[in-house]
Structure 1
């Protein structure tokens, strides 16, 4: 049975409801005519094995009527019916690549002909395709007298290539043991498990979970799998004696923390003694898989600027009021972009197994994010992959679904998803929006035991699970039309379990509007009056997201922290002079200035965030006592080393205590970056009054 025919049959075996020809042809990306040919082949197979055919019911669709026992038997038979000695072209490619990558043995082409059971001409063509593929990585295939066929290229590039190939050609859930290893039904999966060793991947996964849980780090399933796969390749290459060149320096030093502890535990487990350069490379790479908080990244301000600008852009293109969900959306985007920037600097590609489905299901948002990619590419200096665009789209899609949700929900359920936290949240949001289902929690497969502790009526899962205490429905992570029909049928069967739940109103916007009215009516919002309004809202049980009630630039930029037309010899003096104002007022410590200068020396002029505008900053732990901002215009511009935005004519210094309290300040600065006329007027302002009027005014002065 052909692979696609097998997948179509498995789709019918996985559901007990009607499926339509139109839906399935879209799902498998084939024409309806091709799908009907597949259906003919499936029915022939079913008849040969004494099973009933797939039937068509007018107005409903197609269905395979089988008992649960027969379904399980047929699934096992379908998996076993493939000839074990037959390799498809893509599997021959993988078998060749992994055999050549294994430096503990000699690869000879005549032996590979016998192993793969192909002719010399077929293998020659396979080798030609392999060489062509490796060429884009700068890797060549050479034949040596004693070593046979070997890969020649940079070790770091070889590891990245293996990582990309395995990600794209295998089911990573199989590799990581989330599904029964004995049930692996593709040669590609088995080839990789033989190369990396399933027990090694399992041990790495156990160490990962142990270290991260002890450190109270939220585990994202997708990033977890990517980290384990990367470490599996790293361990294998080191054990074979393939190490990084000491000349290939890594752009980050080892930092103490959960990831470093994880890498150390792997080294101890497998008896590895890597160099400092290897430890730097591996620690930094694993860190880049995980969305971070600002304290772990030097470019946290860049991530914040991009997150805010991306939200504004997608809102403008789609017309969806994402600012209403600013808190959750911003947090997810900010953390993901921080990891994205780290991955780009380390030339690491993260694989998104659902990118094609996301692109198809959320066309408008995906296109809007794609239109913004140039701004991100300007920072990372390389193309933004479709995988990353897919991840960013999920955050917006989740937010869009939450915006449309009703306040009343009649079911309580849990979502079980192994495709990542953000994908699980998206599935939860869609269930909530479209089917009046209140999702109590989003869990991974290793958290099944928690279901019994939750007050839920139903379980929705993207993976097969052995759980019988509550009704369970298996779904695709991104809902298709066929899934929606199954959900309706599932809810109807379990309608006796529904209940009524009432959500509390989020009154944040109401509070903001009231405070604005006070000011517009000639009043003044003091700290005391604000606290009284907040207490009144709480007394009436109105929910407020305090992160969204934040100071504006004019609330924290004091007159004493503004310097105009100053002379500076270089960028270091410009940073120092601007920051010294905050040192005087004990907003920051002296060491904060040194940290800002060191960051620019180490990572370049990334703080020049707009034309002629620099935003000097370091991490909060480098000496910030409280939130503060200072600004200085320069009499003569200074070069910071940013070819796109030099020379710098105005310097802001930001002292932030966390990831959120300064968001409105960042939004004010983005307005400046996008308004060249206003920025020019600030730079040319000769007195404090004019400078403030331009900076805080609603319109540019004539």
Structure 2
């Protein structure tokens, strides 16, 4: 029996409350399989005491017998005396106690901590040694002094990191964490330091990786305070070395510990294995991976019969994920518990992803590991949820524990992807006072105590796993008999109105559009009492902004694809967008990697990496008088060549994204083919871009 199981029993003892497996999984931050195991444990107790078992209904709803409340008399909350630890739990706790200790530890001390007999610890000892050995460590025994773990300090920390980061909420896990975590005020300092360094170094960790880095830093501080430091490491300066150096410099200053170059080296290795939502990239392959990602999305959409090509977040998130996969070693952290559940419950999507993996592998030449199949499937499932749930208008309350700024960030992300009507934004402590009819459910960043409304837990960053959790909640509501009559309503928001007005204004009065939109944004924001400010980052350019008339040349005569690439690049070279070596690099890229740059029948987008001579972000377009083959089989011959100069892995994304969507429209290419002047061609690009913008 663990604390989560007792909490589930308490939830089920509320007669009028509807409870489902997915809701409990979201509430406790574990997989649905874990919840099913907890329900089996509860059923064992019910059977032992002659109480009717829990049953599962459609949609994962949990039905309980009228006599279920009698279970209260058989369970209670308290300290470790009330929790019967399994042998596996005892072994894990004992292993952590030994690894965290810098001195010898007696078996009597372990027995006292676990509230078991010394004989029990002796019986568990071989399993404890085996557990420690799995981490590359060894347990040494001394007849009079006790037990001690021997091995590299780096292996000890990895062992502790894996032991603490299990996603469980159990009594034994609380004990493990108690050996690792630092005081709350120190934790707050660490969070502030890492957040600041993310912005300084332009490397933004995913929410999951952010928590893992914080956990490691807590382990490091505890170990340093015991006088334990990372052993001498082989120097291998990675791109994350400056970030690691700055983080440890500040920690040394504010947490009063000493650090070493080997500590910096090891932290930089961990940062290199972490995942990032976006990061400053010096990898020449970043832009190429975006091209491959776009082809993958195109193919996966056709395979599943669902058009996901218009989901910009899907494209941006998946390409960023693949950058991380191919630019660093696979993360050495425990698997995300939601991955296995997603694969199990979305077998058709996983099969479609597996079928289309060769599109990614044909360019990289590297196999996709099984864990990455799961992560890519999560990205696809999140895109499917966004597409499906934009038409839903359930009433939702947002509860956030981290202040109004974080609440607004979460709110804007929710509104962007779901057609929710946000009833209120509240602090976590207010949740217990809410009436059940106040909203359909709550979206919270932390568990809510004594709350009478259903809720789902997400991270403030609202990652792909969170989209799936929210989608599961919506599915449960949609499948219930109490579907709100307002489910087909659409909320009018300030940003939603501006999104509709923006293309009309830009098309009608293009020269005056920026100033006029700024005035309209201010008036609309004041009327709705909503924030309408644009992102603080520079707004990425539209396709038509990168392809004005002087960047377009029609009816160019070329002998072969090499000359076509060179002629398209010379336009940008003459304007100072690229260096001469960029053109040679584009040709060498195609010779080395093949014609993956042919994105659509008759249309190629040659490019190179961001460090191969690009100076400014830009595009040029030539229309060939006689199409030439690029070796792209059914996509040949190529009539249009659009050269792309990318200065980073992000600025050009919207223009590239819109271009690929336009290429799906044969009418667009027909109009380009029939245009008689560069100005007319530029006008066609702008017209179609605004018409297809979502």
Q: TM-score interval w.r.t. the shorter chain?
A: 0.5 to 0.7
Name the SS of the counterpart of 2:149 in structure 1.
Answer: strand
Q: Does 1:247 align with 2:234?
A: yes
Could you say which residue in structure 1 is the equivalent of 2:131? 130
2:448 is matched with which residue: 458, 461, 465? Answer: 465
| 1:628/1:582 CA distance change after superposition, 3 Å | same
Q: What does 1:169-188 align with in structure 2 at a 5 Å threshold?
A: 170-171=168-169, 185-188=170-173
Distance 2:448 2:3 in 1: 24
CA distance in 2 between partners of 1:667 and 1:427 (Å):
21
| CA apart distance, 1:232 | 1.8
User: Is the 1:263–1:283 contact (alpha carbons within 8 Å) kept by the matching residues of 2?
Assistant: no
Q: How does 1:555-566 map to 2 (within 5 A)?
A: none
Does the CA contact (< 8 Å) of 2:400 and 2:428 recur in 1?
Answer: yes
Mapped to 1, the partners of 2:592 and 2:658 lie a distance apart of 16
Tell me the CA shift for residue 212 of structure 1: 6.7
Match of 1:91? 89
User: 1:505-654 maps to which residues of 2 (within 5 A)?
Assistant: 531=510, 549=543, 585-588=575-578, 609-610=593-594, 616-618=608-610, 624-628=615-619, 654=645
What CA distance in whole angstroms lies between the structure 2 residues aligned with 1:142 and 1:432? 53
Residues 57-105 of structure 1: CA deviation (Å, up to 9, x unaligned): 99997347899xx99x969963327636853223223223323323521
Pick aligned residue for 2:264 from 264, 272, 279: 279
Contact 1:141 1:151 in 2 (8 A): yes
SS of residue matched to 2:310: helix
Q: Which deviates more from structure 2 when the two are superposed, residues 360-369 or residues 54-63?
A: 54-63
| 2:151 aligned partner | 152
What CA distance in whole angstroms lies between the structure 2 residues aligned with 1:353 and 1:473? 22
Partner of residue 220, structure 2: 234
The aligned counterpart of 1:330 is 315
Q: CA deviation at 1:228?
A: 0.9
Shift of 1:321: 0.2
1:328-369 Cα shifts (integer Å, max 9, x gaps): 222222333334445x33754374242233334433334433
What SS class does the counterpart of residue 232 from structure 2 fall into? coil
Cα 1:107–1:295, aligned 2, differ >3 Å: closer, same or farther?
same
Q: Secondary structure at the match of 1:264?
A: helix
Change (3 A) 1:225 1:64: farther
Looking at structure 2, the residues matched to 267 and 285 of structure 1 have their Cα atoms a distance apart, in angstroms, of 18
Matched, 1:661 2:652: yes
Cα separation, partners in 2 of 1:194 and 1:7, compared to 1, 3 Å: same
Contact 1:460–1:472 under 8 Å retained in 2: no
State how far apart, in whole Å, the 2-side matches of 1:348 and 1:250 are.
19
Q: Which residue of 2 aligns with 1:474?
A: 455
1:383-415 alpha-carbon deviations (Å, 9 max, x no partner):
6353x5554444333332332346573635437
1:322: Cα distance to partner?
0.3
1:363 equivalenced with 2:347 (yes/no): yes
Distance apart, 1:162 and its partner CA: 3.1
CA contact (8 A) 1:93 1:126 kept: yes
The question of whether the paired residues in 2 share the 8 Å contact of 1:414 and 1:460 is answered with: yes
1:39 aligns with 2:34: no
Distance verdict in 2 for CA 1:630–1:205, change over 3 Å: same
Task: For residue 78 of structure 1, give the secondary structure of its aligned residue in structure 2.
Answer: coil
CA contact (8 A) 2:579 2:614 kept: yes
Alignment partner, residue 520 of structure 1:
none
Which residue in 1 is equivalent to 2:692? none
**C-alpha distance in structure 2 between counterparts of 1:508 and 1:447, whole Å:** 34
1:332 aligned counterpart, secondary structure: helix
Check conservation: 2:646, 2:652, Cα contact below 8 A: no
Among 166, 170, 188, the residue aligned to 2:164: 166
Structure 1 residue 441: Cα displacement: 9.6
Relative to structure 1, the CA distance from residue 97 to residue 305 in structure 2 (aligned partners, 3 Å threshold; closer, same or farther) is: farther
- Counterpart-to-counterpart distance in 2, 1:107 and 1:360: 43
Return the offset for 1:511: 12
2 CA distance for matches of 1:234 and 1:606? Answer: 47
Distance between the aligned counterparts of 1:75 and 1:576, measured in 2? 81
Distance 1:658 1:283, change over 3 A: same
Distance 1:204 1:629, change over 3 A: farther
Query: In 2, Cα distance between the equivalents of 1:362 and 1:58?
Result: 20
User: Residue by residue, what CA displacement relative to the aligned partner does 1:133-176 show, whole Å, maximum 9, x if unpaired?
Assistant: 33xxxx241537799542435x54543343233223644xxxxx
Long gaps (5+) in structure 2: 26-30, 459-468, 522-531, 533-538, 598-605, 623-642, 662-694
Partner of 2:683: none
Alpha-carbon separation, structure 2, partners of 1:576 and 1:242: 55
By relative contact order (CA 8 Å, sep 6+), the higher-ranking structure is 2
Give 2:9's aligned residue: 9
User: d(CA) in 2 for partners of 1:430 and 1:13?
Assistant: 37
Corresponding position of 1:501: 491
Greater mean deviation of Cα atoms: 548-557 or 240-249: 548-557
* Structure 1 residues 511 and 163: alpha-carbon distance in aligned structure 2, compared to 1, 3 A threshold: same
Q: Does 1:143 align with 2:140?
A: yes
- Asked if structure 2 preserves the Cα contact closer than 8 Å seen for 1:369 and 1:392, the reply is yes
Partner residue of 1:634? none
Q: TM-score, normalised by structure 2?
A: 0.60
Quote the offset at 1:484 in angstroms. Answer: 5.6
Structure-1 separation of matches of 2:21 and 2:650: 49
8 A Cα contact 2:190 2:214, kept in partner:
yes
8 Å Cα contact 1:95/1:191 also seen in 2: yes
Q: What CA RMSD, in Å, does the superposition of the two structures yield over aligned residues?
A: 6.6
What is the CA–CA distance in structure 2 between the aligned matches of 1:11 and 1:380, rounded to whole Å?
50
2:198 and 2:240 mapped to 1: Cα distance?
24
Q: Residues 304 and 97 of structure 1: is their aligned pair in 2 closer, same or farther, counting only changes over 3 Å?
A: farther
Secondary structure of the structure 2 residue equivalent to 1:459: strand
CA distance in 2, matches of 1:578, 1:424: 43
